[in-house]
Amino acid sequence: MFNNESILITGGTGSFGRAFVGYLLKKNYFKKIIIFSRDELKQFEMKNDDLFKKNHKKLRFFVGDIRDKERLMNAFDNVDYIIHAAALKQVDTAEYNPFEFIKTNIQGTENVIQAAAANSAKKLIALSTDKAVSPINLYGATKLCADKLIIAANNIFGNKNTSFSLVRYGNVMGSRGSIVPLFKKQLKEKKPFLITDPDMTRFNLTLKECIDTVIWSLKKTIGGEIIIRKSPSYKLIDVAKAISNKNKINIVGVRPGEKKHEELIPNTGNCHIYESGNYYILIDKVLNEKIKKFRKNYKFKKEIESFSYNSKDNKKFLTEKELKKLTNIN
């Protein structure tokens, strides 16, 4: 699959990027894989990992920032597929550094879109977050704006060969900056677990499920879709108890910009909502003239009406046994 084609991953040295590139190498997908990131140390570490050393002939490493459009234009030359994973992501950090988040998450995404279209890439898949749905924080607002740019690009560059789609998901279990490594660090240091709110819930996805969703999207999307994998929820306090039910828990209060519960699909009526196996597919109504094309591509049977998908009211919550298994991450 994709044997004679090339792919580039922005933010390619992050938790998702590194795991995704490793998956592509093991599956022998793509003749050339380009890792684009601004972190030269992480690139050095990837290059010296056994799996990446073994496949060095098909790998290319670009040090660059998505804020630099000229560098992106150079990196995207003759690239068939682009996964846009680069972003600034910490919710509380965004509240105190708003201009930096705008430069990376909004203006950087615009640069990625422009460079992809100018180089006639076949497909761009951007990674989004549940924080972009009905945002109350600066990070979520920048990601919402970036999402709107990705979807609008299908109209703006409709005469080009490039399609633009989104994959939106919630928290990734065990990823850098997530709650599991923090709890494990606190446990190792014999410190209490710090919980913001005992009733706080989040969606959960494993890295493998993220990768599977992006691969599915690379195969299926035609431009303009928001792909959402059906995901279970958990309470943060249950994750702490799964790691250690003997460690002390301190309730510290909600941080600036933080939600008690998250949404992946809001009940706003501005999107057509469909199901396809393990996925929900959202089509923004700005693309109404293409709706027949979407229905034909996915063989949609029935549109879902008046639907909201949030972590509090989710039908599936992870059990204690499932959480213990998922949090067993070194």
Among residues 131, 143, 235, 259, the one annotated as catalytic is 131
CA distance to 4, 17, 89, 171, 251, per residue, from 214 (Å):
19, 11, 19, 15, 36
Pair of tokens at residue 226: 């928001």
The Cα 312–Cα 263 span in angstroms is 9
Handedness of CA 283, 133, 169, 159 (dihedral sign): positive
Q: Name the helix (H) or strand (E) containing 235.
A: strand 233-235
The Cα 15–Cα 92 span in angstroms is 20
Contact between residue 265 and residue 282 where contact means Cβ atoms under 8 Å apart: yes
Q: Which of 178, 177, 167 is nearest to 202 (CA)?
A: 178
The Cα 327–Cα 196 span in angstroms is 19
CA distance to 83, 166, 194, 296, 326, per residue, from 221 (Å):
13, 9, 40, 12, 30
Q: Which pairs count as long-range contacts for 179-188, CB under 8 Å and 24+ apart, including other chains? A: 179/236, 179/239, 180/239, 180/243, 180/327, 180/329, 181/329, 183/239, 183/240, 183/243, 183/327, 184/243, 184/327, 184/329, 186/247, 187/243, 187/244, 187/247
Based on the residue annotation, tell me whether 131 is a catalytic residue of this protein. yes
Active site residues: 131
